[in-house]
A = this chain, B = another copy of it.
């Protein structure tokens, strides 16, 4: 947490050595990808969620405390297409949670590295949740730490780590973020 960690004197995030035009192009691809990802989840098309990943794609939801301490514990972890599809199926066919709308706001998107065909990128996200007859509330805020596989101009997630600040969630995290 903030005052437990002395400020580092070295830059934690050295600027990537890719040229500006390439960087702009890659960021554009990542933005379009993330907005489509958000639109599909916000549309409740949960069964399409695995389509955003490679066959060996990894999805992890990690509390920031654990991420900062390099602890392996995840709130949710899916490794490979089988687990991703299993998770999506389970959510799509579960009727145990109250109806709600969710909406993703993704900002501060940056490309950090490019080792063809892999793009390392990050972003900030907010997930807002609205239950019937309740005001909209902030369900979770956090950061994506991503590695994308680029094929031509289309991207797939090789690894998405969602590192969330919001440890105390109002009820439960049903959907992927």
A interface residues with partner B (beta carbon < 8 Å) = 1-9, 11-13, 15, 20, 24, 28, 32, 34-36, 38-40, 43-48, 64, 88, 92, 94-95, 97-110, 122, 124, 126, 128, 130, 132-138, 140-143, 153, 165-170, 174-175
Q: Choose one: B100, B134, B138; the contact of A2 (CB below 8 Å).
A: B100
Q: What is the oligomeric copy number?
A: 3
Chain B residue at smallest Cβ distance from A38: B108
**Given contacts A110-B35, A136-B140, are A7 and B46 in contact (CB under 8 A)?**
yes
Cα(A169)–Cα(B175), bound, Å: 24
Whether the Cβ atoms of A135 and B166 lie closer than 8 Å is: yes
Interface SS of chain A: mixed
